[in-house]
Amino acid sequence: MKKALVTFILALTATIGTHAQEYKIITTVESIVPSGLGRSRIIDAQEEKDFEEYTSEQTADDNTRNKSKRGDIRVKDFEETKLLNFYNIAGIRFQNIAANDALISSKLTAMAAEGWELIFVTSGVEADAGEKDGQGIFVTRFIFKK
């Protein structure tokens, strides 16, 4: 009986140890377009993709191209949560930022409740480049593992 119990525990430990880590990225896109004309969202892909299907190896002797089309890469199954834009007609709107923080916090809390651990956050801005450039976004990526 002891032998069977030890064997079971060893098998269970080996099974648990062989599970690969799973990663998930949630992206927020917040508009910094003046007058509140942009679109802001939380994006959560609900579809898995295998990077190897879209990867090719280049060598000096070979110009092999990946045969998949760019359209094949697109994810059509994703969750989109509306956020408010940073600006409105009057300028920067701090209430909008607070509302976005509340929604993003809610999403992060839900991810944690599902067993995801936030391991890294990175962000970047494509900001207004001057008087005639009314474009801009603030992108944040939240990287989770399970």
Residue 127 vs residue 73, higher pLDDT: 73
**If you ran DSSP here, which 8-state letter would residue 61 be given?**
T
**114 found inside a domain:** yes
Other CB atoms within a 10 A radius of the CB of residue 34 amount to 18
**26 found inside a domain:** yes
**136 found inside a domain:** yes
How many domains, the chain?
1
**104 found inside a domain:** yes
Return left, alpha or beta for 34; rule: phi > 0 is left, psi -120 to 50 is alpha, else beta.
beta
Total-model pTM: 0.75
**If you ran DSSP here, which 8-state letter would residue 59 be given?**
B
Domain of 30, in residue numbers: 22-145
**8 found inside a domain:** no
**7 found inside a domain:** no
Return left, alpha or beta for 135; rule: phi > 0 is left, psi -120 to 50 is alpha, else beta.
beta
Q: What does the pLDDT look like over 41-97, one tens digit per residue?
A: 999 999 988 888 888 888 877 665 655 666 678 888 999 999 998 887 788 889 999
